[in-house]
Structure 1
Amino acid sequence: MVTVETQGLSGGIAMLWMYKEEAILNSFSKNHIDMRIKNKSGNEYRLTGVFGEPDRSKRQETWSMLRTLAMNNSLPWCLIGDFNNMTSQNDKAGGRPYPQRLIQGFREVLNDCNLVDMELRGYPYTWERGAGTSEWIEVRLDRAIVNIPFLDVFADATLTNLEISTSDHCPILLELQKIIKDVHIKNFRFENAWLREPMCHQIVEEVWAGNTNKTLFEKLEKCSSILSTWGQEITGSFKKRIHNCKRILKAMKGRRDSNSISVSREAQKKLSEVYVQQEVFWRQRSKQLWLREGDNNSKFFHSSVKKRRAINKICSLKNSQDQLVDWNTGLENVVTDYFSELFTRSHTEWQ
């Protein structure tokens, strides 16, 4: 870990990594940490954490720092953090127009250093002030800027606004490659969280009462189909539902009219219900038999399942030439060749 302490109530940068061999520190200051990174695939690149000068009269210091860091660079390069700079008026909503000279100055720096601003997925703004009031201002201050070699090496890299935060800044997530998701064949599974809903009992009773001429298997199939569709509203997409509730609460923050208070209370009620459903959902999957009913540590349930899945997941293997390959570079062939060789008969003699 390398850290730069905060300056009063602003600033502060930290770089953390898993293995010592992954990163080498190039330089640091109160406004940056510059690292050379080598990932598991053997790709070497440069990663710089940045905190731009918040004082507009000193913005030139940030621009000079970027130009200095760009000198004699031959590696794929990414700079990420709170730049306290905008590239256009579209980066701001509310308040007065941003000084055009600052926008132009930052764009000149990007051009001089041959850097491009990565597209931000999700909500377009990363910082706010005065939420829910007539003086509400939102700005995109946090970003990742990269050079062309970086885009060539990491063609699938994405930058996402995670939006939800206790800070006035939203966290942003840079992913260098696409995450290959496991393909699961969805089979019906009854969720214990459904038992908290009266509608669950009603669905089962109606299916059984309305299909008296059907076999037991046909009734079960019909019931599971209806429950699966209905259950998506109860145990489907917890993250999205929590996000929607928090967005509503965030928009209503600071408002005192009766309608806004009513909307906030309803959103808070829904948020509490989702948290309870999520807890029951992950408890059912955690399979930790020693946990007692009523334990509210839903993060533990979630991590138990995620950890088990991570342990069982194969991301990369070494081939016959002792080279590490993943699903993008022929891992399926390594698996196929291994089992083909394992089950191929050779020089077998029977007595």
Structure 2
Amino acid sequence: MIVLSWNCRGLGNPKAVPVLRELIKTHTPDIIFLFETLVHAQKLEDKRIKIGYEGCFAVNREGRSGGIGVLWRKSSICQLITFSNNHVDLEILNNDTHRWRLTGFYGYPERHRRKESWRLLKTIAAASNLPWCIVGDFNDLLYTEDKKGLVEHLEWLFRGFRNTINECALQELHLQGYPFTWSRSRGKPNAVEERLDRAFGNSEWMAQFPEAQLINLVAPISDHSPLLLKTVSTGIVTQKRRFRFENKWLKEPDFQDLVQNSWDTGFNQELIPRLKLCSEFLSSWGKQHFAKFKRDINLYKQKLEQLRNFSDPGSMEEHDKIRKKMIDLLVQEEDHWRQRAKSFWLSEEDLNTKFFHSYANARKKKE
């Protein structure tokens, strides 16, 4: 089971869409929790259809804030138990002997409402005796080392959250990677970084999934990092891709020279052999170009991961440049899959979805 948890800070933002698509394509989560979606249920349903997941559930935003969305890849893996404006509680249906509970949680960000968050956590904890895991944006800190910056965090807030976690009999999952999941004004004197996004499990869940991993990912938008929860270690599955002519290549500065050189190489041959030779040149170049495209995206992710450790002005300027380049590449990748699916009727915000992949692969089989 793979779970993605992310405070996306607005799913209606078209820049959030390519980032979410890339996270799905890279990590193939079975369940996705999205917090602060800032959209209504119908908007999430539209995204579900385009992503290709079988089910979704949404808690509508309140005014211009809030909103929770959960999507699941297969309807047979979970069912809804309870929900509120701050949580969605699911029962995971692995099989009859390994049923457990998964909760996506969003804590109140206002200090004067933290006690409401803590009361809700206790209520959810007492609702079932199943093995339980809870993940999300708690908007709370356990220890002083969970914070970096000059803004004071009061002791009663630390103590109240710790007492709540203890009363719920929860154990925190170790976070792999960068220790903070939220940042503000990085690279400036008033910069603040905190570990607001977490995952916990009770003793029964920990015993059932002793190899569970919680990984801090990077995303070029939102001030929160996505979290990836894996109940067991999983390998990376790669797919072999056939060559297709890509319209985006027409924008490459060396494309026309490549076609001209390949055509000139077979100048003493007839038309069909020259076309075949040209296609072979394009096939080789296309594979290298596609590999470079994927490599650049991965390289940008690695650079963003490295730059999170630095807050000097030069590093922050480089961080912003890399973030914008990565978003541009993710948007360009949509052109690739839109052409393969030949679905030009979709709007500009509809990005790299399972629908595109399925449609393109179906066409391959027919050919």
TM-score class, shorter-chain normalisation, is 0.5 to 0.7
Larger Rg: 1
1:271-314 per-position Cα deviation (integer Å, ceiling 9, x unaligned): 686366424322332134xx38xx873726645323447999xx
Distance change in 2, residues 1:110/1:242 (3 Å): same
TM-score computed with the length of structure 1 as normaliser: 0.58
Distance change in 2, residues 1:53/1:228 (3 Å): closer
Distance 2:86 2:331 in 1: 42
Task: Name structure 2 gaps, 5 residues minimum.
Answer: 1-56, 268-272
**For residue 329 of structure 1, what is the aligned residue in structure 2?**
none
Distance 1:127 1:159 in 2: 16
Distance 1:29 1:227 in 2: 49
Distance change in 2, residues 1:178/1:58 (3 Å): same
RMSD: 5.3
Distance 1:260 1:63 in 2: 36
Distance change in 2, residues 1:263/1:15 (3 Å): closer
Distance 1:298 1:69 in 2: 36
Please tell me the residue identity of whatever aligns with 1:25. I
What's the CA shift for 1:39? 2.1
Task: Name structure 1 gaps, 5 residues minimum.
Answer: 313-351
Contact 1:286–1:302 (8 Å) recurs in 2: no
**For residue 327 of structure 1, what is the aligned residue in structure 2?**
none
> Within 5 Å, which residues of 2 pair with 1:4-43?
6=62, 13=68, 22-25=78-81, 31-33=86-88, 35=89, 37-39=91-93, 41-42=95-96, 43=98
What's the CA shift for 1:125? 3.0
Distance 2:291 2:123 in 1: 53
Distance change in 2, residues 1:230/1:98 (3 Å): same
Please tell me the residue identity of whatever aligns with 1:103. F
Distance change in 2, residues 1:128/1:310 (3 Å): farther
Distance 2:208 2:148 in 1: 34
**For residue 127 of structure 1, what is the aligned residue in structure 2?**
182
Contact 1:23–1:36 (8 Å) recurs in 2: yes
Greater RCO structure (CA 8 Å; 6+ sep): 2
1:230-284 per-position Cα deviation (integer Å, ceiling 9, x unaligned): 5433x32575477689999x99xxx9x9x9889968975x468636642432233
Contact 2:300–2:322 (8 Å) recurs in 1: no
What's the CA shift for 1:82? 2.4
Distance change in 2, residues 1:211/1:116 (3 Å): farther
Distance change in 2, residues 1:239/1:29 (3 Å): same
Contact 2:248–2:335 (8 Å) recurs in 1: yes
Identity of aligned residues (%): 31
> Within 5 Å, which residues of 2 pair with 1:1-351?
1=57, 3=59, 6=62, 13=68, 22-25=78-81, 31-33=86-88, 35=89, 37-39=91-93, 41-42=95-96, 43-56=98-111, 59-60=114-115, 62-63=117-118, 65-67=120-122, 69-71=124-126, 73-96=128-151, 98-99=153-154, 102-121=157-176, 123-131=178-186, 133-154=188-209, 157-161=212-216, 163-164=218-219, 167-174=222-229, 176=231, 183-185=238-240, 191-202=246-257, 224-225=283-284, 228-233=287-292, 235-236=293-294, 240=298, 268=324, 270=325, 274=329, 277-288=332-343, 291=344, 297=348, 299=350, 302-308=353-359
- Match of 2:139, SS state, is coil
Distance change in 2, residues 1:58/1:222 (3 Å): closer
Contact 1:278–1:298 (8 Å) recurs in 2: no
What's the CA shift for 1:90? 3.5
Please tell me the residue identity of whatever aligns with 1:125. F
Distance 1:230 1:14 in 2: 36
Aligned residues, how many?
Answer: 296
Contact 1:282–1:298 (8 Å) recurs in 2: no
Distance 1:237 1:40 in 2: 35
What's the CA shift for 1:77? 0.4
Distance 2:351 2:113 in 1: 46
- Match of 2:254, SS state, is helix
- Match of 2:189, SS state, is coil
Distance 1:74 1:197 in 2: 59
- Match of 1:198, SS state, is coil
